[in-house]
Structure 1
Amino acid sequence: MDGRTGQNTPLYDQNAYHDLLRRNKAVVCALSASYISTFAGYPLDSIKSRLQTTKTAVSIPRLAAMVYKEEGIMGFYRGLWIPLMTISFVRAASFTIYSRTKEYFAIHDILYKNTLVDVALTGGIAGAMSGALISFGSAPFELVKVRRQLEYSIAASKGISLNKAPGTLDAVKEIFKANGMKGLYTGFPLHFVRDTTGTALYFLEYDGMRHLLGRNRSGEQGPTPSWLPIHHSLVPFVCGSLSGVTSWAIIYPLDVVKTKVQQRALAGEKYRGPFETLHRLIRGADPSNPKPLLAGMVRLYRGLGVSALRSITTHGLLWTFFDMTATYIDRLPSTPSPEPSTDYSRP
């Protein structure tokens, strides 16, 4: 209590708190949305990794039943704490780079006409920069995640029977012991190309779709077009889901090759380059008896169905909660400002 006024002194300055949220809106929105979407989509991501590395075709329900029988419900969440732990870095940094790049383009009037081409290109360039820079930090964590998801298949390739899979820290120690810090970047070139290309396509498509569905350059959502008269609250989910599915489908073969290269390296097997790995995935291991091209392509896209479902869930929820949080922050009361400013950074 303030003795001079006889009134209770607030524990914090509400205006300063609101200003802090506004200054760090991209970070706050990315964190809150990512935790929810990552937890919801992680079991599907785990099944996807297993489908990509199995040598024989198996249905998703059967594989899920096998995982549940051998590892229980926690088998679907093996390695979950890795993306949850690193989400504060990856998502926050990614959306910050993406938002700041768009803001820079707006301030310097680069590709800032209110046309579909300019909007999409701005999002694509911002996404490429974001994906390229973030890949240096995310590569080790994704490698450990793949290791945790594929513990049993890696052990089987070594002729080891696991009663209980080692923990995450044990997995990191084993990778580091075998190849040092370099081991944590196993498959990094493929990871870099995948993240740069995939993130560029993802944001290019998302910003382009949002423009088509009525959002203007300042970030305000207008009426949706007559050919898709949906409620404005569904726009982020629809655009997030479609951009997530289509961009992922384009780079999916690259992700399959990356996962396979990493699996062989983690199992201590002979190294095969990306092109050799791709050729063997499509045509098989026996050059004298190659598999039919169509059958090979089907194998290359094994797990795409569950991956598409994961993308719909993860990216739809991500943008829905991102938009909800951004709207909440935009509506917070603020102290009067002498000069109103335009929010260029809103995704």
Structure 2
Amino acid sequence: MPVEEFVAGWVSGALGLILGHPFDTIKVRLQSQDKYRGVLDCATQIYRHESILGFFKGMSFPIASIAVVNSVLFGVYSNVLLALTSTTYQERRANPPSYADIFIAGCAGGFVQAYCLAPFDLIKVRLQNQTEPRVRRGNLRPRYLGPVHCMTSIIREEGPQRLLRGAGTLMLRDTPTLGIYFVTYEWICRQYTPKDQNPSSFIVLVAGGIAGINSWVTATPLDVIKCRMQMDGMKGQVYRGVLDCMVSSIQREGPRVFFKGLAINSARAFPVNAITFLSYEYFLRWWG
């Protein structure tokens, strides 16, 4: 099993995470809280009440964990593609795999990633949704003092099984979405790159950015449901499952609720995935 794909996934995931976390914080707030009028209002309130540090809540944990999950995604994708086509990364430009094989490998990576990601994502979402300042002021004090305290609090108050809250929704979101993600990236690279050559940096950036936007257009409805289910434990049991969460959300806010955060997801997706794919490609070229 080639290990360089896993290493490249970790490096690219870490770089993308640092760039995209402030956008992700705004997205999570918009999807799980209804007190904001839009992206600009949410960003303004975060900065006014929590300073610039508010945009980076929950990032220390993902930089060590979700980057590893990205490593799992790219590693599983590449190794499943290797099993399906018997071609390594260095051989794929001369003997490109079919789009069906790419889609299957992407779906496999998304499925495995979802269950690795679930506990880390739950902790990240809980920390991002804390509106209290990090430093105690008067009677204001954050419920969670950090990622480890958040994890132990969830286990103590809600049970260890709650760390997997939202895993099923993540699986439904990521399995087809990441198949589409890799197919979109590969299709754009092939369209604008001469046969047997590696795509240029510009093409990689554009293809990665468009692949990211395309995947989030598909993923956002289930991402909204996932965020709301993950927030249940902070206010008691609210939803009985995915379907109940969907029906309750529509009844309260209408069908438009499923597109909350789409604008910020798209704005975040282009630069994050452009950098992710560029660093991934160049790391593997250097390794080869």
1:53 Cα deviation from its structure 2 partner: 1.5
Alignment correspondent of 1:105: 84
Name the counterpart of 1:126: 105
TM normalised by structure 2 equals 0.87
Residue of structure 1 equivalent to 2:170 = 191
In structure 2, the CA distance between the partners of 1:215 and 1:164, relative to structure 1 (3 Å rule), is farther
2:178 equivalent to 1:221: no
Task: Tell me what 1:255 maps to.
Answer: 223
Q: What corresponds to 2:118 in structure 1?
A: 139
Does residue 1:95 correspond to 2:81, yes or no?
Answer: no
| Superimposed CA distance per residue, residues 113-155 of structure 1 (whole angstroms, 9 cap, x where no aligned partner) | x999x632111111111111122221101011111111239xx
Q: Give me the whole-angstrom Cα distance separating, in 1, the residues matched to 2:66 and 2:163.
A: 18
Describe the superposition over 1:34-81 as per-residue Cα deviations: whole angstroms up to 9, x where unpaired.
Answer: 221110100000000000122245121221111112211111111101
Query: Separation in 2 of the partners of 1:278 and 1:298?
Result: 12
Question: Is 1:325 matched with 2:266?
Answer: no
Report if the CA contact (8 A) 2:110-2:174 is conserved: yes
Structure 2 counterpart of 1:275: 243
Distance 2:35 2:268 in 1: 22
Q: Distance in 2 between matches of 1:323 and 1:257?
A: 33
Report if aligned partners of 2:13, 2:71 keep a CA contact under 8 Å in 1: no
1:298-328 CA-to-partner distances (Å, cap 9, x unmatched) read 3321211111111111101111122222232
The number of residues matched between the two structures is 276
1:306-345 alignment runs, 5 A limit: 306-330=264-288
Relative to structure 1, is the Cα distance of residues 302 and 68 closer, same or farther in structure 2, using a 3 angstrom cutoff?
A: same
Q: CA deviation at 1:221?
A: 2.2
Structure 1 residue 88, shift from structure 2 partner:
4.7
Q: Contact 2:36–2:42 (CA<8 Å) still a contact in 1?
A: no
- Give the 5 Å matches for 1:5-20: none
Encode CA deviations 1:262-304: one digit per residue, 9 max, x unaligned: 21233213333222322232232xxxxxx6xxxx233321211
Deviation at 1:208, TM superposition (A): 2.3
Q: Does 1:241 align with 2:209?
A: yes
| Letter matched to residue 162 of structure 1 | L
1:235-263 CA distances to partner (integer Å, 9 max, x unpaired)?
Answer: 11111111111111112101101111121
User: SS of the residue aligned with 1:65?
Assistant: helix
Matched AA of 2:198: Q
Alignment check: 8 A CA contact 1:265 1:271 kept: no
Moved over 4 A (4+): none
Where do 5+ consecutive residues of structure 2 fail to align? 133-138
Residue 340 of structure 1 is matched in structure 2 by: none
Percent same amino acid at aligned positions? 24
Cα gap change, 1:74 to 1:57, in 2 (>3 Å):
closer
- Please, what TM-score do these two structures have when normalized by structure 1? 0.73
Q: 1:162 aligns to what?
A: 140
CA contact (8 A) 2:222 2:258 kept: no
- Cα distance between partner residues in 2 of 1:273 and 1:93: 27
Q: Distance in 2 between matches of 1:121 and 1:215?
A: 21
Q: Is the 8 A contact 2:155 2:163 kept in 1?
A: yes
2:136 alignment counterpart: none
RMSD after superposition: 2.5
Where do 5+ consecutive residues of structure 1 fail to align?
A: 1-22, 154-160, 223-231, 285-290, 331-347
